[in-house]
A = this chain, B = another copy of it.
Amino acid sequence: MVEITLLGTGGTLPVKGRWLSSAMIRCMGTSILFDCGEGTQMAAREADLPLGGVDILCLSHFHGDHVAGLPGFLLSMGHEGRRTPVDIYGPAGLTEVVTALRILAPFLPFEVRLHEIRTDQPVTLQTIGHLSVSAFPLEHSVPCLGYTVDLFRPGRFNVEKALFNHVPQPLWSLLQKTDSATDETGRVYTRDMVLGPDRKGIHILLAQDTRPTALLEKMMSGRALCILEGMYGSDDKREKAVETFHMTFTEVAFMASRAKPDEIWFTHYSPSLPDPETYIEDAQTIFPRLKLGTDGMKTILTYPDDSDC
């Protein structure tokens, strides 16, 4: 299963009742934090999520509302007992920005590994078992990344296939857990020799601070959940959205109507949008499975065909 929590849903500035936009995904013992604006550590505590458990930190870009909470978050991770390395991913400029901010957190009881991602297409960052984290470029006023989290699910064990491939029975169980195994003669057998076709996994996308792009729309396809910026509710703000490299509800809805993800959650509302509920119904006429994200909103996604993963 994959647990997704919206820590905050505000853009640009923190306002009363809205922490700055960030999200935490936890799956198979790995915790991934997406963006870290001022107050993210407080929002994580409010959501009862352990800061010290964050293994991977994905930063979209380096505007203050997405990264100003980083030094405090890192210090608190240390206070909460973090001792193993943390990987931080972000676009061009990551090293310069994190190095500057660490003037407030020069000594940490864990290693911080920085990975500056310069790419014009999707790139896989880490694969941990069946869990994979990837980044792809967005279109903002500065280099900006969207992220995907994919929990792949191998096919079922297929005894006919195992027999057809002459896989020795003692290796059948092992090959459901590892990529390959060797018999006593040195012959190598691979996982695909005993498993049926891959089953549908759980696929999530997070993208904020961007204009609509063809790549974003393509990446939204087949996702159980897309967490997307809903900076502006009214279509009247489209010009403003173009100018500031953001999106309106309707623009997101049109992309979704073509990409057809299972569900979309809006986040990163402008401080000028205190009432996103005013605009959601119009957008839902274009794509019905839109939801307004709120601070602390949480879901647990399981594999489509059963609840055991």
Interface residue ranges, A against B (CB under 8 Å): 12-16, 37-39, 41-42, 45-46, 62-65, 67-69, 71-72, 75-76, 79, 96-97, 100-101, 103-105
Q: Shortest CB–CB separation between residue A136 and chain B, in angstroms?
A: 24
Residue on B with the closest CB to A16? B45
Residue on B with the closest CB to A73? B38
State in angstroms the CA–CA spacing of A41 and B14 once bound together.
8
Name A79's contact: one of B13, B16, B39, B63 (CB within 8 Å): B13
Residues in B with CB closer than 8 Å to A13 are 41, 75-76, 79
**In the complex, are the beta carbons of B38 and A72 less than 8 A apart?**
yes
Q: Oligomeric state, in number of copies?
A: 2
Residue on B with the closest CB to A20? B72
**In the complex, are the beta carbons of B64 and A75 less than 8 A apart?**
yes
**In the complex, are the beta carbons of B71 and A68 less than 8 A apart?**
yes
Residue on B with the closest CB to A74? B64
Q: Shortest CB–CB separation between residue A86 and chain B, in angstroms?
A: 17
Query: Contacts A38-B39, A38-B72 known; A67 to B16 CB distance under 8 Å?
Result: no
Residues in B with CB closer than 8 Å to A101 are 100-101, 103-104
**In the complex, are the beta carbons of A64 and B68 less than 8 A apart?**
no
Sample (8) of A-B pairs whose CB atoms are under 8 Å apart: A12-B79, A15-B45, A38-B42, A64-B72, A64-B105, A68-B72, A101-B101, A101-B104
Name A104's contact: one of B12, B39, B45, B68 (CB within 8 Å): B68
Q: Shortest CB–CB separation between residue A78 and chain B, in angstroms?
A: 10
**In the complex, are the beta carbons of A41 and B41 less than 8 A apart?**
no
Residue on B with the closest CB to A19? B42
**In the complex, are the beta carbons of A96 and B104 less than 8 A apart?**
no
State in angstroms the CA–CA spacing of A298 and B97 once bound together.
37
Residue on B with the closest CB to A51? B13
Residues in B with CB closer than 8 Å to A100 are 100-101, 103
State in angstroms the CA–CA spacing of A175 and B13 once bound together.
47
Residue on B with the closest CB to A104? B64
State in angstroms the CA–CA spacing of A79 and B10 once bound together.
15
Residues in B with CB closer than 8 Å to A71 are 64, 68
